[in-house]
Structure 1
Amino acid sequence: MARYHIETYGCTSNRGESREIERRLRDAGHYRVDGPEAADVAILNTCTVVEKTERNMLERAAELGDETADLLVTGCMALAQGDAFTDTDAQVLHWDEVPAAVTNGECPTTTPDASPVLDGVVGILPIARGCMSDCSYCITKHATGKIESPPVEENVEKARALVHAGAKEIRITGQDTGVYGWDTGERKLHTLLERICAIDGEFRVRVGMANPKGVHGIREELAAVFAANDKLYNFLHAPVQSGSNDVLGDMRRQHQVGEYLEIVDTFDSALEKWTLSTDFIVGFPTETDEDHEQSMDLIRQTRPEKLNVTRFSKRPGTDAADMKGLGGTIKKERSKAMSALKMEVVGDAYESMVGAIREDALVVEEGTGDSVKCRDGAYRQLIVRNASEYGLEPGEFVDLEVTSANTVYAFAEPR
């Protein structure tokens, strides 16, 4: 759980994005503090209206970089003039990527009662609380403990209630969805997903973060459920964290790189189109140059279409906090290199979609201005501008043609 400080400059759109960032951070168990000095991470949401504003943004970024352990820069100037922040100790991110970057590789933290929530047409369904991991860098485990899995039928009823309440997308969440049922002696995630997909109604299901160790043991069964059910987004978030088995051992991750690759191969064989989402921690205390290159090679080999890059940050009370850390310059250089590779890989994925037809994409929520955000069957983000002209509203299913790409999402128009 991270302590964060956030500053927002500019228009109403920026303020709305910051509110969404904060909502996601709170949902994941992180909390806001007063002032960057008390924060683990500072977030600067920038504006770029005039030259004076740009100078102010750069000055403030430099100040925040000196006052806090990690600095994330987002907003208009970050996206339009990201190179301007090269001399600051900052990660430049799209606002939608900020919440994941704050986590330092830690599991999300659901509320104690793990109750479902309906947010617009999106139903949030926490299926369990806790995890089976003991990662050396993670403080979340101190708050959540080991996995506690309610029965399948109980979660199915919660999902059914969300659908009846109007949910068009159900997001399956938890500290580690892949180990659902381990505490009862039975691996049940694939069974739960099959049961939820059998609920009457037109909706989609997205599976939240599942560590590779939990997925690996049920990879064949899980991939088969994805292939057999159109309601399931063909999307898997399996955070590998490093391409080095040595580093994974020091992190006390329960998987090795080979197991992660077997998961990817299994899903490649079962699904024609699917999205691999993963996370990497850059600059773990024992990470060498060779370890870093192994992580870069793993990205090139598997080409994940969604990739969260996080610089290692010490969390109080964790074993990794006692390790001798790498210098900030090393972490910055490695983070910059991996982020550049990420933009290349993700950009290629969205660019390859231009001209493609995506049937039954779900309009999930309103976007900036007169636009809506949609998701195709592989959970890729498609933006439709001038949505009012097409009469599109959240909850509708629509056939789209992809017209252009913008690195981390694509633009589309109704057919």
Structure 2
Amino acid sequence: MARYHIETYGCTSNRGESRDIERRLRDAGHHKVETAADADVAILNTCTVVEKTERNMLRRAKELADETADLIVTGCMALAQGEAFADADVDAQVLHWDDVPEAVTNGECPTTTPDAEPILDGVVGILPIARGCMSNCSYCITKQATGRVDSPPVEENVEKARALVHAGAKEIRITGQDTGVYGWDTGERKLPELLERIATEIEGEFRVRVGMANPGGVHGIREELAAVFAEHDEIYNFLHAPVQSGSDDVLADMRRQHEVSQYRDIVETFNDTLGEWTLSTDFIVGFPTEDDDDHEASMDLLRETRPEKINVTRFSKRPGTDAAELKGLGGQTKKDRSKAMTELKMDVVGEAHESMVGTRRDVLVVEEGTGDSVKCYDGAYRQVIVQNATDHGLEPGDFATVEVTSHQTVYAFAEPVDAAAVDDGPAETTAD
């Protein structure tokens, strides 16, 4: 679990984004500190209203980069002029607001709330299905806080999901340290059964997103899991399976409990079963035993499997972990590898969103965005932004058909399609 320091500049909307970032970090077990010098990671939420502001943002970014191990820059200037930070030789990850919380994790599992109870946040219902995990990763401090997996019965989680839907949830986010090993403590692999029952037994119109599931747990249920996804429109065609490295040697040193071939098996199965889906994964760059060939293996794996959501994290030592005892790589090495992978990531992600332009998609409006916009998700859990939401009469909880008009690398922009156009127009291109 990381210590974070966050600074926010600009308008009320930016402050709202920072509150959301902090909520998600807090819920994942991370801790806020008051100064960047005391933090594992600093977050700078930027403004870009005038040239003087931009100069101030660059100056502050340089200061923070000198004070902390890792710096994440987000916000308006990061999105509109992200290259300015690299041009100014600021050592930072430049990310969209939504990608900040996962980038803070250092590859660790998320930590659910102590009582693991459901939470309704707007139209999003957060359902922790279990606590703990079955892994023993050498770099992860979360395991020390959560222990082995403890899985409540399927029926109990179905009832919690039903209560969230009845309370107004339109999207249920299934969470846990590792959702793929749900039920392993009872001798069964229960995630597909849980998803099947939520999709078939709960009345109402809603969507389900499965949270992080490590490849070691998913591999044994990959065919059953992909089949459940394919059968039920209620379940987003989205899988977050963090591979962390493309090198089996490094994975062994990380004690990740999977091999690269198993990750490839998962991707192949989902490719064969689903017409369109989103693969999300994580890479740790600069693990102490990672050499140049290992790094290139990770780059090759990214090119080969082409995940559409990618979290790139530089290795950072966590106290009390076995990896903290290893001799670390130089800071410049980690920076160079992180930069190379991030550039490749943006190419891969941008290509995926470019392919969406001109297609029609059924989306769920999940939350308000910046200004008069709303954030929506299509059937493959790709983020779609609709601007001038008030004019279109869209608000969180609505379902709509939209046509994608453009993209900004990590998300798409779309316009609603009226009912007559949907009835009379060409067939939609949507997630299966």
| Pairwise TM-score range, normalised by the shorter structure | over 0.9
Residue 83 of structure 2 is aligned to residue 83 of structure 1: yes
1:406 to 405, 408, 430: 408
Q: Distance in 1 between matches of 2:245 and 2:36?
A: 29
- The C-alpha deviation readout for 1:364-408, integer Å capped at 9, x for no partner, is 111111111111110111111111111111111111111111101
1:365 to 364, 367, 371: 367
What does 1:186-225 align with in structure 2 at a 5 Å threshold?
186-198=188-200, 199-225=202-228
Stretches of structure 2 that go unaligned for 5 or more consecutive residues are: 418-432
Q: Distance in 1 between matches of 2:210 and 2:283?
A: 19
Letter of the 1:258 partner, please give it. Answer: S
Percent identity over the alignment is 81
Give, in angstroms, the shift of residue 98 of structure 1: 0.8
Corresponding residue for 2:296? 293
Q: Distance in 2 between matches of 1:410 and 1:247?
A: 35
Q: Distance in 2 between matches of 1:412 and 1:35?
A: 40
2:334 to 331, 336, 350: 331
Corresponding residue for 1:10? 10
**TM-score, normalised to structure 2's length?**
0.95
Stretches of structure 1 that go unaligned for 5 or more consecutive residues are: none
Corresponding residue for 1:94? 96
Instruction: Please state whether the residue corresponding to 2:208 is helix, strand or coil.
Output: strand
What does 1:90-129 align with in structure 2 at a 5 Å threshold?
90-129=92-131
Give, in angstroms, the shift of residue 74 of structure 1: 1.1
Q: Distance in 1 between matches of 2:275 and 2:11?
A: 41
Give, in angstroms, the shift of residue 48 of structure 1: 2.0
Root-mean-square deviation (CA, aligned residues, Å) is: 0.9
1:165 to 160, 164, 167: 167
Q: Distance in 1 between matches of 2:91 and 2:389?
A: 38
Q: Distance in 2 between matches of 1:100 and 1:307?
A: 10
Segments of 4+ moved more than 3 angstroms: none
Residue 198 of structure 2 is aligned to residue 232 of structure 1: no
- The C-alpha deviation readout for 1:5-34, integer Å capped at 9, x for no partner, is 011111222111111110110011101011
Give, in angstroms, the shift of residue 50 of structure 1: 2.5
Residue 266 of structure 2 is aligned to residue 263 of structure 1: yes
Corresponding residue for 2:39? 39
Corresponding residue for 1:143? 145
Q: Distance in 2 between matches of 1:92 and 1:240?
A: 22
Letter of the 1:71 partner, please give it. Answer: L
Q: Distance in 2 between matches of 1:354 and 1:301?
A: 23
Letter of the 1:243 partner, please give it. Answer: G
Give, in angstroms, the shift of residue 80 of structure 1: 2.2
Which stretch has the larger CA shift, 73-82 or 158-167?
73-82
Corresponding residue for 1:252? 255
- The C-alpha deviation readout for 1:143-168, integer Å capped at 9, x for no partner, is 00000000000000000111111111
Corresponding residue for 1:73? 73
Give, in angstroms, the shift of residue 81 of structure 1: 2.2
Give, in angstroms, the shift of residue 47 of structure 1: 1.7
Q: Distance in 1 between matches of 2:144 and 2:182?
A: 19
